[in-house]
Structure 1
Amino acid sequence: MSIEVENISKHYGEQRALDGVSFSVKKGEIVGFLGPNGAGKSTLMKILTTYINASEGKALVNGCNVISQKKEVQLSVGYLPEHNPLYLDMYVREYLNFNRGIFNTSKARVDEVIVLTGLQPEAHKKIGQLSKGYRQRVGLANALLHNPDVLILDEPTTGLDPNQLVDIRHLIKTVGKDKTVFLSTHIMQEVEAICDRVIIINKGQIVADKKLKDLRDDKVQTVIVEFDYRVEDTFLLKLPNATTVKNTHDFVYEITFATTSDMRSHVFDFAHDNQLKILQLNQKNASLESLFRELTSTTNQTQKEATE
């Protein structure tokens, strides 16, 4: 196992941020750690990266104990925290060269991660001059410098515009082909677009652990697409097996299909034939959304507690 968590709890005074959390992540998995704000996602990630210690329980990363083998864990983990810590006055290449010394990696590796994360056009700039999307790329490049086996990413797409969002998603999937990726988010679309599996945490406890494929309703699927121009609903309804179309905002549409086939290729062909550009194209997992609401809704939990 790449990550093993066994009965982990974390207390801050009387507050219990984590309460008996247990799960494991296999090598090569991309797992989404989903939960509302304040659920305990960042706390667990700080424990896995040795930044803080758990109050109770045990955690292993690549077979190394996060308390007794901290250096070994740090060498095997690439970490991008929620608030990406960067030296804004340093140039991109300068910053990466500075950090490579910590792991004693080669100068050639700096060039490799710059290419891998698409930083070539911005490598000569100061980090303070970069957009939020490119700053996230710098953070990912830094996390990849020592070629870790495990990537731990805390809210890696927060605050990005739609174009940056698509780029970072693609980048995470690319680097995740030969690494274990454990990423936290409170956005279900991120899990759907990137992950193989979802773990849902609420109020410090794991409330669900599911494969994405097990949550999909094969009879109905919803595709979310953003064009660069407004499209009439009637035209989208002409797509094969389309049953409903909803314009959620601006040029973003949710199209529901009654079929087991993946309809994203048909939406792509529609855009091409009508000279439209696609800014995002994802499947929406209605079952995942329903599960999340059921397990994390304050109203539902209040009603449940009242009956117990």
Structure 2
Amino acid sequence: MSIEVKNITKFYKDQKALNNVSFSLNKGEIVGFLGPNGAGKSTMMKIITGFIPASEGDVLVNDCKVNTNKLAAQKHIGYLPEHNPLYLEMYVKEYLLFNASIYKIAKDEVEKIINKVGLMPEAHKKIKQLSKGYRQRVGLAAALLHNPDVLILDEPTTGLDPNQLIDIRNLIKEIGKNKTVLFSTHIMQEVDAICDRVIIINKGKIIADENLIELKKNQEQVIEVEFDFKIEKQFINTIPHLKFADNVHDTSWLLTFNTSKDMRPSVFDFAHDNGLKTLKLNTKNKNLESLFHELIPK
């Protein structure tokens, strides 16, 4: 296993940020790490990278214990933090050469990484002149310089425009073919597009660990409906075969049914019987978004 997290608990004074968290990741997996703000994602990533210590438990990276052999473990890790720390006055190539000197890496490896992440057109610019997307590429290049087996990416697509999102997404997918990637985000569409598996954390505890292919095969039915007036959940719950109802916004609901039968006629009849109009009525496959809303209701 590339990463093994065993019973990790983390306290900040009296606050328990992580509560007995365990999971493992294998080589070649791209795993999405999902959760609301404050769920413990960044804390867990900082513990894996050795940036902060755990209060209890162990993390192993390629069989190296992070808490007792931090430097050996860090040699296997490339890390892009949420707030990508860069020396803005340095030139791109200058900055990467500086990082390479710390790792004692040959200069020609810098050229290879610049090409790999698509930085060649910007290599002779100062970092402060770059767009957010290219700054993220610089951070990724720095994380990849020493050819780590494990890549930890904390919110790498935040603030990117649609074109930059596609570029960074494709780059991560390419990198993940022969590395282990743990990818933290709050954008579920990014996990759907990039990842093989998703781990969902809430209030410091793992509440789901799902293979995305298996999740998409799930026979449960999800219906998205919008009424013309707001309605209480207790009335929604009277619809037959309803497993879960999430009020996603005002008069809009995401309804999960434990049957493969088309339940749209039943939802339409429910609206008619209660004097409501249906402004939108769509059926969807059971997906990551519905799972997230089911596990972490608003």
TM-score class, shorter-chain normalisation, is: 0.7 to 0.9
Question: What one-letter code is carried by the residue in structure 2 that aligns with 1:196?
Answer: D
Cα distance in 1, alignment partners of residues 213 and 292 from structure 2: 16
Question: 1:1-308 counterparts in 2 under 5 A?
Answer: 1-217=1-217, 286-298=286-298
Select the structure of larger CA radius of gyration. 2
1:287 Cα deviation from its structure 2 partner: 2.1
Question: Which TM-score applies when normalising by structure 1?
Answer: 0.75
- Contact persistence 2:114–2:141 (CA under 8 A): yes
Describe the shift of the 1:221–1:68 C-alpha distance in structure 2 as closer, same or farther (beyond 3 A): same
Aligned partner of residue 216 in structure 1, secondary structure: helix
- Contact persistence 2:218–2:286 (CA under 8 A): no
Unpaired segments ≥5 residues, structure 1: 223-283, 299-308
1:218 Cα deviation from its structure 2 partner: 7.1
Aligned partner of residue 78 in structure 1, secondary structure: strand
Describe the shift of the 1:49–1:293 C-alpha distance in structure 2 as closer, same or farther (beyond 3 A): same
Cα distance in 1, alignment partners of residues 191 and 112 from structure 2: 27
Question: What are the superposed Cα offsets for residues 100-155 of structure 1, whole Å, 9 maximum, x if unpaired?
Answer: 11111110110011000000000000000000000000000000000000000000
CA RMSD, aligned part only? 1.7
What residue in structure 2 maps to residue 239 of structure 1? none
Cα distance in 1, alignment partners of residues 285 and 166 from structure 2: 18
Aligned partner of residue 159 in structure 1, secondary structure: coil
Question: What are the superposed Cα offsets for residues 202-260 of structure 1, whole Å, 9 maximum, x if unpaired?
Answer: 000000001000110478999xxxxxxxxxxxxxxxxxxxxxxxxxxxxxxxxxxxxxx
1:14 Cα deviation from its structure 2 partner: 1.2
Aligned partner of residue 79 in structure 2, secondary structure: strand
What residue in structure 1 maps to residue 259 of structure 2? none
Question: What one-letter code is carried by the residue in structure 2 that aligns with 1:189?
Answer: Q
Question: Which TM-score applies when normalising by structure 2?
Answer: 0.77
Cα distance in 2, alignment partners of residues 24 and 52 from structure 1: 19
Aligned partner of residue 128 in structure 2, secondary structure: helix
Size of the aligned set, in residue pairs, is 237
- Contact persistence 2:215–2:288 (CA under 8 A): yes
Question: What one-letter code is carried by the residue in structure 1 that aligns with 2:157?
Answer: T
Question: What are the superposed Cα offsets for residues 17-66 of structure 1, whole Å, 9 maximum, x if unpaired?
Answer: 10000000011111110111110000000000000000001110111001
Cα distance in 2, alignment partners of residues 192 and 29 from structure 1: 14
